[in-house]
Amino acid sequence: MNYFLDKIKNKKSKVLIIGLGYVGWPLLKTVHKKGFNVAGLDINKNLVNLYKKKNKKAELYYNYNDINFEKFDILIIALPTPLKNKVPDLSYLKITMKLLYPKLKKNMLIVLESTSYPTTTDEVISSKLQKKFKIGKDFFVGYSPEREDPGNKNFNIKNIPKIVSGKTTNCKKLVKSFYSKICNEVVESSSIEIAEMAKLYENIFRVVNISLSNETKEICKKINIDFNEVLKLASTKPFGFMPFLPGPGAGGHCIPVDPFYFNWFLKKKKIASNFIETAGKINIKMPKKIFNQIKKVFNHNNITKKSNILFLGLSYKKNIGDLRNSPSLEIFEYLIKENYNIQFNDDFVKKVKLKNKIFLSKNINSIKNYKVIILSTDHEYYKKVKFNNSNLIIDLRNFIIKNKKNVIRL
């Protein structure tokens, strides 16, 4: 145990990151910059080869059989844990543990970073490993949830407080020691289950409040009140209030998914939580609701299916190219399915394939050629766009500050 701690302290431990997506790849680069010997593994051969081209010295693998696992001390798992039909899909994690099990040696540390429900780490990792090892004595297990905010330049792995937990006290000491070398601040959890729940709660908190803002905005429309001004005024309160902007819905891997993750877990335990489930449903229904509102605007303004329409922004949030659970992409798909004459611009998403057709991002300077502009994702570079006064602009993000007759906010 002390020997392991000394190896981490002196950065002599060799680290393997399993899963090189939005979480794993930035983590690998940070661990490397901090002076650790680190390698990466991802079964996506194309992704690995792409990274190898850009980082020729990086030690990267796409085949488990190519790796000598005995030379690694720390394994960090950052694999996707999606929902399928509102049921958690832990297949990536389970398959990985099945492949790892015969290759593991004593005195290794496994840390799970993926989002999941409480008890996942214990059920999928610890319960399997304790058949072969004495956890806390000759093998160590921890959980440390990722807290990435893609596109936010103010926060990164180093300056976001890092929650750490372990199966035993010794496990937590090792997890804390490792992440203390990478992150500016480490926050200890008394158990893995509490850390797992904290991660879910962070995201549920967000989706609940976004859903509240969206529902309140719909109510305000019906009683002829400007919700944007309501939000602006409420935000002046210096305590007890946090503004959440309404929009076409929350996207990304975690935020729209986690309420249903947690709800599945609660139903398994026969515990009711109507509030969280309702918030999740409100969020999921937003893109279809916005699409129907857009069609009403079209009908009111004599916009036909032959009218030239430009859709601004497909990613789920500004300044990134991430399409996972993107409400903007979903709205765009609805318009495609209804056979509207529509194109898109998104400098972060160069192309997208829908209905067996590839759509390429159009130059933003061609905006004057379109009769209708739908602004769905508020990328920063759109602030420089000179919107033509002759265009009908449908603003889904309250992005265009000036009140113009041709701007309709939904």
Residues noted as catalytic: 254
In this structure, are residues 109 and 179 in contact, taking their beta carbons and an 8 Å threshold? no
In this structure, are residues 351 and 332 in contact, taking their beta carbons and an 8 Å threshold? no
Query: Using CA atoms, how far apart are residues 128 and 207, in angstroms rounded to an integer?
Result: 34
Write phi, then psi, for 294 (nearest 5 degrees): -60, -45
Going by C-alpha positions, the residue among 225, 211, 396 that lies closest to residue 311 is 396
Residue in this structure with the two tokens 């279809």, named with its chain if needed:
288
Structure tokens at 230: 């309501």
Strands 74-77, 392-395: parallel, antiparallel or unpaired by DSSP?
A: unpaired
- 162-166, strands of its sheet edge to edge: 59-61, 37-41, 14-18, 74-77, 109-112, 140-143, 162-166, 186-188
Class of residue 166 by CB neighbours under 10 A (exposed 0-12, middle 13-18, buried 19+): buried
In one-letter notation, the amino acid at residue 182 is I
Query: Using CA atoms, how far apart are residues 157 and 380, in angstroms rounded to an integer?
Result: 23
In one-letter notation, the amino acid at residue 175 is V
Query: Using CA atoms, how far apart are residues 111 and 121, in angstroms rounded to an integer?
Result: 9
> Any idea of the CA torsion for 146, 315, 203, 259, to the nearest 10 degrees?
-120
